[in-house]
Amino acid sequence: MSNLQAAVPYIMTPDFVSVIVRGRSFQLVPSHPTFKQVVAALKAKAWAKIPKLVSLAEQIANQSHGHVKIERGLVTYKGREVNSTLTKRMLELIDHGQPVASLLKFMDNLYKNPQPEAISEFYEWLMDNELPIYDDGTFAAYKYVRDDYTDTHTGTVLNTPGEIIITSRNLVDANWRTQCASGYHVCSKKYGTYGSKCMEVKIHPRDVLSANGGKMRVTRYEVMRELGNKDEIEFTAEGYAELEGKGVLAINKERRDLIKALTSLPAVKRLVRNKKLNPKSFRKASLVRLQSWLTKFGETVPVEQSKLFENPLRPARVAAKLTTSQVAKAMDVSTAEAYNLERKKNPTQDEIDSYLEGIIALTKAAGVAYPTPASAVPEEDERVDLGEPSDEEDEYEEDEDCDEEDDGGY
């Protein structure tokens, strides 16, 4: 059996596909032109087609994403040419034969931000402060917290890995010229800090409200990991793959995704349970070895995408220990309307802000952290037939964050 006919390791969910071809991992989402073809080939076990489809997908992905396209040496957004530091960087990378898929995604995400200054100024600020861009078009920043992982200003916002902090955009100061103001703060590695522990956080460009000096105010962020105590951190580029050495970075999540996929497999769980496989082997194994294990033990495993791309309203309400009807009453809308907003694929910014402000009015907090452990929500929400959710796809989700110094931020 030839290599092309051998089974191709893959991870597949309705919203995400990752395949491994010639030792490399490639990810696709439903909006990609070849997504359906790849899914069909995987389901049919037509392994010989996968490398060709991946090659085609790579060519497309490196020239367009969403509303952003590169054609004949021009970068356009919704058909209009864009000249900026970001687009010049894309063209420079292409001239050097470097991939620009991460920057295409970043630009498409950035243009979802309703703040004009964010679109025109933010990429340059990001590079000046050496903040890395993730492969999915989001970016990394840093947040300093207390020993108990709460924010330095109020001591009430928990910042442990996996938490998402979110608030209404209307409650964050959007003035880019003001450095100390209300809102959730994150910072660059060069910024003078308060607090004792440093956390790496992930942010969608759409959720940036303002940036000044070495810090910014945002409406939502996801806590990724703890980097260590403030005085011990050296800020090496560990985990980052630099593109041409000019500050544009892409994080390779392949090892983490493979380990997560492997440890989710029933066959692997049985081996670990029977002490025939040591979980530490995964951390020590090479990428090639992990890929071969995935092929051996199973082909398809659910994988989660970043929650920053999901509708945050229902998990925020559950974390706040409220029912849909309680939030609806605070919003002065029907329970059915609130129910549909929770299940809408892409609620608008105004819808997110209105819903979050209903939660905030009831909890008397500045925002919501989720998934915070909460008691069971009354069954009322699950058993009432409130109709089908809306199919509208306005683009937005909301985020929130704050940290650094005692300046009214969190």
Give me the domain span that covers residue 345.
309-397
Residues 6+ apart with CB under 8 A from 120: 84
Is the residue at 234 inside a domain? Answer: no
pLDDT recorded at residue 361:
93
- CA 102/CA 25 separation, integer angstroms: 15
pLDDT at residue 66 is higher than 60:
yes
Amino acid, res. 72: R
pLDDT recorded at residue 350:
93
Is the residue at 148 inside a domain? Answer: no
pLDDT recorded at residue 408:
46
Is the residue at 296 inside a domain? Answer: no
Is the residue at 151 inside a domain? Answer: no
- Residues 108, 68 contacting (CB under 8 angstroms): yes
Helix, strand, or coil (residue 154): coil
- Residues 374, 321 contacting (CB under 8 angstroms): yes
Is the residue at 115 inside a domain? Answer: no
CB-neighbour burial class of residue 179 (10 A; exposed 0-12, middle 13-18, buried 19+): middle
Which string of DSSP letters, residue by residue, matches 255-307? HHHHHHHHHHSHHHHHHHHTTSS-THHHHHS-HHHHHHHHHHH-S----PPPG
- Residues 138, 196 contacting (CB under 8 angstroms): no
pLDDT tens figures, 93-106:
877 777 788 888 89
Confidence of residue 199 (pLDDT cuts 50, 70, 90): confident
Is the residue at 222 inside a domain? Answer: no
Q: Are strands 249-251 and 240-242 parallel, antiparallel or unpaired?
A: antiparallel
Which string of DSSP letters, residue by residue, matches 315-334? HHHHHTT--HHHHHHHHTS-
Among the residue ranges 28-42, 169-183, 249-263, the one predicted with the least confidence is 249-263
pLDDT tens figures, 96-140:
777 788 888 899 999 999 888 778 778 888 888 888 888 888 998
Whether the link from the prior residue into 371 is cis, omega within 30° of 0, is yes
Which CA distances in Å does 161 have to 12, 52, 279?
25, 38, 21
Q: Extract the tokens encoding 46.
A: 């037509």
CB-neighbour burial class of residue 104 (10 A; exposed 0-12, middle 13-18, buried 19+): buried
Q: Output DSSP code: residue 27.
A: E
Provide the Cα torsion 61, 62, 63, 67; round to 10°. 50
Question: How many distinct structural domains can be found in the chain?
Answer: 2
Q: What share of the chain is helix, strand, coil (3-state, %, to 5)?
A: 35, 20, 40
Residues 6+ apart with CB under 8 A from 29: 15, 16, 17, 35
Average pLDDT of the residues in 344-361: 93
Amino acid, res. 377: V
Is the residue at 245 inside a domain? Answer: no
- Residues 103, 248 contacting (CB under 8 angstroms): yes
pLDDT recorded at residue 185:
81
CATH number at residue 374: 1.10.260
Which string of DSSP letters, residue by residue, matches 30-67? TTSTTHHHHHHHHHTT-GGGHHHHHHHHHHHHTTEETT
- CA 324/CA 302 separation, integer angstroms: 29
pLDDT recorded at residue 228:
75
260/89: higher pLDDT = 89
Q: Output DSSP code: residue 169.
A: G
Helix, strand, or coil (residue 140): strand
Is the residue at 54 inside a domain? Answer: yes
Confidence of residue 236 (pLDDT cuts 50, 70, 90): very low
Which string of DSSP letters, residue by residue, matches 184-253? EEEE-TTS---SSEEEEEEE-GGGEEEEETTEEEEEEEEEEEEEEEGGG-----TTEEESTTSS-EEE--
pLDDT recorded at residue 329:
96
